[in-house]
Structure 1
Amino acid sequence: MGGSGGDGHFDERGEASGGLPVEIAFLSRHGVAPSGLALVAQRAGRNGTEPARELLALGLINEDGFYRAFAAELDLPFHAGDFDLVSGGDYGAILRGGIAPVTGDATPSLRFILAPEGPALRRMLEAGPRQRNDIAVVTPRRFGEALRRANAATLAIRAANLDTAGLARDSARTGTSRGQRITAAIAAAGTATGGVFAPLETFFSVALLLGPVFLGLILLRLAAAIERPAPDLWRQQRWRVDDSRLPVYTVAVPLYREEAVLRQMLRALSALDYPALGSKLTR
C-alpha cells in the first residue's frame, strides 16, 4: 500500500512499520509517546476496539488534538469555525465515510469537510487527500452535529417511521401476505364446498365458530360500560399518600467525556422532588 507521508509505511494488515496500527502510528510524529501508543494498540487488540477510540478513552490526547494532528499529517487545514453541510444523501454512509460537501455560504473557500473514524480514518491516512486548501478537517463531534442539522427534517421523519420504508413496514397499505391469502382461499373454498354439498351443516359450523367471538365482544363492551373509572388518589388525597408506599425509581445517567455539563446535571438531579428517589454516583 502507499505511504502516509513522512517516514511511515504500511503493511497489508494496516500496520505501520513500527508495528502500530495506522490510525494512531502517525501521532508519534506529533508529540505522542510511542510507548503510550504501544499500550493503546495492545488494549485495542485485547478488547477488539478501534485503536483511535481506545486512545481517546485513555486520555492520551483529546479529540480536538487528535484531529489537529491528523490534519497536519495530511497537510490539510483544521477548521475551527462555523460551517454548514449540504443536505441529502445516505446519512449513515456519510457518517461512516466521514466526508461531506459544504454549502459554501459560511466557508466559500471550502468544498469538503473531513472527519473520518474507524476504517475511513485508516483509508484516509493510507491514501487520502493531501495538501488541499479546499478540504478541511474537523472533529467527528462537530461533523455529526452539522450533518444532523443539515438533515434534521429527514431524520425526524425517519425517526417517526413516516418515511417510505417506515410506512411500508408499519402499515397495512402493502396488502395481505402470501400466507394470509392462501389461508383465506382455503377457508373460502371449504365454506363454498360445504355450502353446496351440506348447506345446513355448514351454516351451523360457521355459527359455532363465530359465536364465541361475537359473545366475547359483547361481554367486553358490557364490562367496559359497567366498570367504574379508577379514582385519582393523587388529586383527591394528595397529602395522605405515605412516601414509603411510593415506587422507587432508578434514574441512570451515563456520562462519557461530558465534564462540562456535570455540575449542571447534578443540580438538575438534586432538584427532582420525589421522596423515594435515591442517588448514587459511580465511575
Structure 2
Amino acid sequence: MHPGSNASGEGWLLRYRWSPQGDDEPLPPEIAFLAAHGVTVPQLIKAKRYALLWGVTPSEALLALGFIDEDAFYRALAAETGVPLLPADIAISPHAPYDLGIRAGIVALQPNRRHLAFAMAPRGIAVQELLLRGPRLARQGVALIAPRRLAERVMAASAPPHRAPGGPRVAG
C-alpha cells in the first residue's frame, strides 16, 4: 500500500490534486504521480492542456508530446501502485483473443510460478482506476505491461507455427 493511503486506497489521489509547486492549476491524477518519477510539473500542465485541445486523455497527450516514453510510464505506474511489471519469462496464453485482448488491454497468462493470471495495459481513465485499486490488483495476480509490448506479445502468442521450406513445421 502506498504511504498515506488507507486500506481501500481512498485519499490516495488527494495528494496529487494540486501541483507540488503550489500552482492553482489542478493536475489530473492519471499523470500527476509522474512528478515523483522525473516528469516536470510544467510538462504535466502542458500535457493536460494539450489533452483538452486534442480531445485525448492527459496520459495520451503526455506520451504523444514525448515527455516520457511508454515503457518508462508503465515502470513508474508499477512503482506507484505496487502492481508488478510483467516479466519477460511469463507467456501470454495462446488462447487469449488476439484483437479483443489488444483493444481491451488485458489478457490471460499461461500458468506460472509467480501466480500472475492477467497482464494489463491500462490507458486513459483506466490508469486513474489503477491508481485507486493498485494494491488490490497486485494481490489478484495482475501484472502491468505497456500497450505496445502487450500487442507484440499477444501477436507472438497468436502467431501460427512457421513451416520451414520443404521441411517439418517449426514452432515460432
Q: Secondary structure at the match of 1:44?
A: helix
Confirm whether residue 27 of structure 1 aligns to residue 73 of structure 2: no
Give the one of 121, 125, 130 matched to 1:119: 125
Q: Give, in angstroms, the shift of residue 44 of structure 1.
A: 0.9
Confirm whether residue 17 of structure 1 aligns to residue 23 of structure 2: no
Q: Give, in angstroms, the shift of residue 48 of structure 1.
A: 1.0
Gaps of 5+ in 2: 1-5, 19-25, 161-172
Q: Which residue identity lines up with residue 9 of structure 1 in the other structure?
A: L
Is the radius of gyration larger for structure 1 or structure 2?
A: 1
Distance change >3 Å, CA 6–CA 152, structure 1 → 2: farther
How far apart are the structure 2 equivalents of 1:20 and 1:139? 22
1:24 touches 1:51 (CA, 8 Å); kept in 2? yes
Equivalent residue number for residue 183 of structure 1: none
What TM-score results when the alignment is normalised by the length of structure 2?
Answer: 0.69
What TM-score results when the alignment is normalised by the length of structure 1?
Answer: 0.45
Q: Secondary structure at the match of 1:9?
A: helix
Name the structure where helix makes up a greater proportion of residues.
Answer: 1
Give the one of 104, 108, 112 matched to 2:113: 108
Equivalent residue number for residue 243 of structure 1: none
2:31 touches 2:58 (CA, 8 Å); kept in 1? yes
How far apart are the structure 2 equivalents of 1:93 and 1:123? 20
Per-residue CA deviation, residues 204-243 of structure 1 (Å, 9 max, x unaligned), is: xxxxxxxxxxxxxxxxxxxxxxxxxxxxxxxxxxxxxxxx
1:96 touches 1:116 (CA, 8 Å); kept in 2? no
Alignment map for 1:237-248 (pairs within 5 Å): none
Q: Which residue identity lines up with residue 108 of structure 1 in the other structure?
A: R
Distance change >3 Å, CA 23–CA 78, structure 1 → 2: same
Q: Which residue identity lines up with residue 17 of structure 1 in the other structure?
A: R
1:100 touches 1:114 (CA, 8 Å); kept in 2? yes
1:5 touches 1:73 (CA, 8 Å); kept in 2? no
Per-residue CA deviation, residues 36-73 of structure 1 (Å, 9 max, x unaligned), is: 10110001111112221211122211111100000011
How far apart are the structure 1 equivalents of 2:146 and 2:95? 21
Q: Give, in angstroms, the shift of residue 6 of structure 1.
A: 7.5
Distance change >3 Å, CA 5–CA 145, structure 1 → 2: farther
Q: Give, in angstroms, the shift of residue 130 of structure 1.
A: 4.6
Number of residue pairs the alignment of both structures matches: 145
Distance change >3 Å, CA 141–CA 4, structure 1 → 2: farther
1:102 touches 1:111 (CA, 8 Å); kept in 2? yes
How far apart are the structure 1 equivalents of 2:97 and 2:125? 18
Q: Give, in angstroms, the shift of residue 125 of structure 1.
A: 2.3
Name the structure where strand makes up a greater proportion of residues.
Answer: 2
2:96 touches 2:107 (CA, 8 Å); kept in 1? no
Equivalent residue number for residue 97 of structure 1: 104
Gaps of 5+ in 1: 11-15, 154-283
Distance change >3 Å, CA 123–CA 93, structure 1 → 2: farther
Q: Give, in angstroms, the shift of residue 89 of structure 1.
A: 5.3
Q: Which residue identity lines up with residue 35 of structure 1 in the other structure?
A: P
Equivalent residue number for residue 70 of structure 1: 77
Distance change >3 Å, CA 60–CA 5, structure 1 → 2: farther
Q: Secondary structure at the match of 1:136?
A: strand
Distance change >3 Å, CA 90–CA 122, structure 1 → 2: farther
Give the one of 57, 77, 82 matched to 1:50: 57
Identity of aligned residues (%): 36
Distance change >3 Å, CA 140–CA 43, structure 1 → 2: same
Equivalent residue number for residue 8 of structure 1: 13
How far apart are the structure 2 equivalents of 1:5 and 1:72? 18
